[in-house]
Amino acid sequence: MNIFISYILDFYLNDKYDIRYSLYKNFTIAEENNKIEEFNPVLNFSFNLKRITKDFVELDLNDQFILFDKDGNFIERNSIISRAPSDMGITIAYFCIYDCSLDEDDNEDLAYILNISYPGYKIDHQNDKIPLEKK
């Protein structure tokens, strides 16, 4: 009985969120859909490269790791690029001239992370206050 009462109180006292979404479209012809703004909107992207150390610390990668778009243009980290997702292509390169071995710090990392940011919503089901946060 106590559990029942606690669930009823929780329901009436806390915020309620109900997020539902259904989309049924025929995406068989991708090139035609890429021309439709609704399916392929122009978004503002930014990129950053991180590394995870052995101590589980997240740090920025050094400047020898560089980014290029699909046209070969240099992409500066954390700069805004406006493109449709279908037009976005990136290359990650390790720039070196004479000695192309990894730095000792980079050689002992556990993982590398490509962080792609764009405006939208962050869904965090573990957030006690608001599970849907606009970024």
The alpha carbon torsion through 57, 62, 65, 67 (nearest 10 deg) reads 90
Burial class (CB in 10 A: 0-12, 13-18, 19+), 69: middle
Run of H or E including 107: helix 104-107
Q: What angle do CA 39, 135, 92 make, to 5 degrees?
A: 70
Pick the range with the lowest mean pLDDT from 2-6, 24-28, 131-135: 24-28
Give residue 29's pLDDT. 61
Read off the pLDDT of residues 30-70 as tens digits, 9 standing for 90 and up: 666 677 777 778 888 889 988 888 888 888 888 888 899 88
pTM of model > 0.75: no
**What are the extents of the domains in the chain?**
41-134
Residue-averaged pLDDT of the chain: 78
Give residue 30's pLDDT. 60
Read off the pLDDT of residues 4-16 as tens digits, 9 standing for 90 and up: 888 888 878 877 7
Rounded to an integer, what distance in angstroms lies between the CA atom of residue 120 and that of residue 15?
Answer: 22
